[in-house]
Amino acid sequence: MFRKILIANRGEIAVRVIRTCREMGIRTIAVYSEADRTAKHVRVADEAFAIGAAPATESYLRIERILDVARRAGAEAIHPGYGFLSENPDFAEACARGGIKFIGPPAQAIRSMGIKTRAREIMAAAGVPVVPGTPSAARDVEEAAAFANKTGYPVMLKAAAGGGGKGMRLVESPKDIAGAWAQAQGEARQAFGDDAVYVEKAILRPRHVEVQVLADEGGNFVHLGERECSLQRRHQKILEETPSPLVEGNPRVRRDLCRAAIKAARAAGYANAGTVEFLMDAECRFYFLEMNTRLQVEHPVTELVTGIDLVKEQILIAAGKKLRFAPDGIRFSGHAMECRVYAEDPRAGFLPSPGRIARLALPEGPGIRVDSGAEEGWTVPLEYDPLIAKLCAWAPTRDEVIARLRRALQEFVVGGIATTLGFFKQLLEDPRFQAGDIDTGLLEQGFSMGTVKTALPRDEARLAAMLAAVQASRDSQRNASELRGQRASRWKAHARLSIAGHGGPSR
């Protein structure tokens, strides 16, 4: 077993990994940028090392600096968390060359699943259902239009080298495809350094349902059930739950969905923890979307219904241990939900709300879990994803979870900055949400903030600060994306040769 693990991340995920390591008797090493010098993860780790300036490209994305700290501190393994370098195959290979274990999947699995067209090809060959689409990036808008005319509108244009909603456009009629193509290409080029775009048949009112899988290095696989992740804003998840309201009560669909996820993981040559994501229509037909080759932000809901610590399992698998669970030995209990609480102002278009947290009171009580890297007096930095905490709840039934979350949100206090707490309070009262009648477009097409008690900017200085925060955040994300784009470009030729004949996200 490892004696020392470096966590190549920050915020709540770094704190979460540190806690599991402490329970396992493993010493932890934190890394931090200048913006995070006083952050919680720095304080709670056994050791902490500065790695650079605030921009992620000068700190959390610098492979050589992180590996240098690992060598100097005597780390035997590195946990990448999610975001930053977690899905960077070059980082996984650099760890291996340095004799340090990467707590994640093999580099080749990361590569193959990171290029969407290549991933689609692998899944189709393995018999995993995929949305009808072009087998590789379309050569030009004429080829995209020809596919759309043959398959029928609506269609979705998607960047081949990335995700997180970047380079994605819904096209509902032939007259719109030229403009959408130019927009998708431009956004893909800016975000990933690669303007390759492919075309898929659009699934109307889709659900986003994913399956958590675990695999050891001996080729043993298990699934830990499905998660419903349909509540999204700009293609980014904001509330997740398990089990899925659509899948619950339909054992045949659940069986087929989870079998497809295991088949997908095998086809990818996977080991460690991963998530296979699907689009599902109202008739419960499902199609492979992508595979996230890392721990997910929403992993706590799976832990709450299974009692399995996914970070612990990641570490054990990386240490060469065999899976401790037989496929029929996992017990699922109750229902769990997670709200991602952000330093954002919903009444101002969800603009980031950086600044000092003047007061912080976290909810407690039966069935409540809060994962957070924030503390009272801490300043939410401009440079990174503005996640403050993940508020999670468990209860025997979905209705009871909603009631428990409603109570917890009343107890959750953040002073000094705007947050999404009020947004979630209103969301839990929405009849469609309460009925489980949700899809990926619910929030953007039919949900109004109504009477959410979140103040609008009171003056021009406040608005200017918020706009500056948005620009700083976008610049940081763009820099990170440029690195991903460089990697994607190297593999673009390989992917096209293989296919001829898709943060990120941010967290």
Catalytic residues: 294
Identity of the amino acid at 205: R
Cα–Cα dist 60/49, whole Å: 12
User: At how many degrees (to 10) do helices 107-114 and 460-499 cross?
Assistant: 100
> Residue 328: how many CB atoms within 10 A of its CB?
7
Residues 6+ apart with CB under 8 A from 382: 35, 352, 354, 468, 469, 472, 473
Residue tagged 């929403």 (tokens): 298
- C-alpha pair distances (Å), 439 with each of 203, 208, 433: 11, 7, 10
| Nearest to 185, CA basis, from 157, 144, 150 | 157
Cα–Cα dist 60/76, whole Å: 19
The pair of three-digit structure tokens given for residue 240, joined into one six-digit string: 């997740």
Virtual CA dihedral for 132, 157, 279, 504, nearest 10 degrees?
Answer: 130
Alpha helix segments (H runs only) across 293-441? 299-306, 310-318, 398-411, 421-427, 431-435
Residues 6+ apart with CB under 8 A from 493: none
Identity of the amino acid at 279: L
The pair of three-digit structure tokens given for residue 80, joined into one six-digit string: 């990448």
Residue tagged 């669909």 (tokens): 253
